[in-house]
Each structure stands twice: as C-alpha cells, then as structure tokens.
Amino acid sequence: MSCSKAAIINISTGVASITENSSGGIYPYRASKAALNMITSNLSLDLKSDGILCTAIHPGWVKTDLGGPNALISTEESVKGMMPVLEKLRGDAESGKFYHGVKGHVIFRG
C-alpha cells in the first residue's frame, strides 16, 4: 500500500475541521468537505484489504477563484508542498488520515 500504487487522494480543506472552527459560516462548503473526510475515512477501512491507500490532503489557502486574491500561496507553491507529503504515504499507517499539504502534519486521524 502506497501512493505510488492504487490510491485515492481527496482534496479537502482545513475549514472542514469541527474542532478548529472559529469563524462559522460557509455551511455548504464546510459540510461537503466534512462529508468528504468521513468518506475518506470509511474508504480507508473498506479498501484496506485490497491494499488501496485512501487519504485526504489540505492544499493550503490557494490563490484561485475560490481562494481569492488574499489567499496565502500560489497553485505552484501548493503543489510543491503537497508532493513530498504524498511521496511519504507508504503504508496502511498513513491511510485514513487528513494531511496539511503544505506543512505536512496530520490534521485528523480517521
């Protein structure tokens, strides 16, 4: 099981965190990403016996149409940050987790 084999990598967001919600608002976006995190966690359990890694990654606050001009990083910086995180996903110990793609730490363990 690794990211270099069969893997499902979902793009989530830090604002989907229930414990780290300090601003409220944007209900549909937060709820859909929280649901995505639950799906990722469930898939990691259901597909473990098939050796398929399932994880979610937060790309950072990116300067896109959604992130807007005040976002912190470019799309290039986001991808550069996520690649080392994805490369270290080597086994089922990493499956089911939610990673910060730029900082590399685990935001949530499924």
Looking at the domain assignment, is residue 72 inside a domain?
A: yes
Q: Which domain holds residue 45?
A: 7-109
Q: Which of 40, 70, 57, 66 is nearest to 98 (CA)?
A: 57
CA distances to 49, 86, 94, 103 from 57, in Å: 22, 9, 12, 11
**Residue 108 is inside which H or E element, if any?**
strand 106-109
Predicted TM-score (pTM) of this structure: 0.84
Query: Do the domain assignments include residue 2?
Result: no
Look at residue 57 and tell me whether its pLDDT is greater than 90.
Answer: yes
Of residues 1 and 100, more confidence is placed in: 100
Q: How many structural domains is the chain composed of?
A: 1
Residue percentage of the chain with pLDDT more than 90: 56
Looking at residue 37, which CATH number applies to its domain?
3.40.50.720
Q: Is the pLDDT of residue 4 over 70?
A: no
* 1 pLDDT more than 80: no
| 12-56 confidence digits (pLDDT tens) | 998 887 776 778 888 999 899 999 999 999 999 999 999 999 999
Residue 1 lies in a domain: no
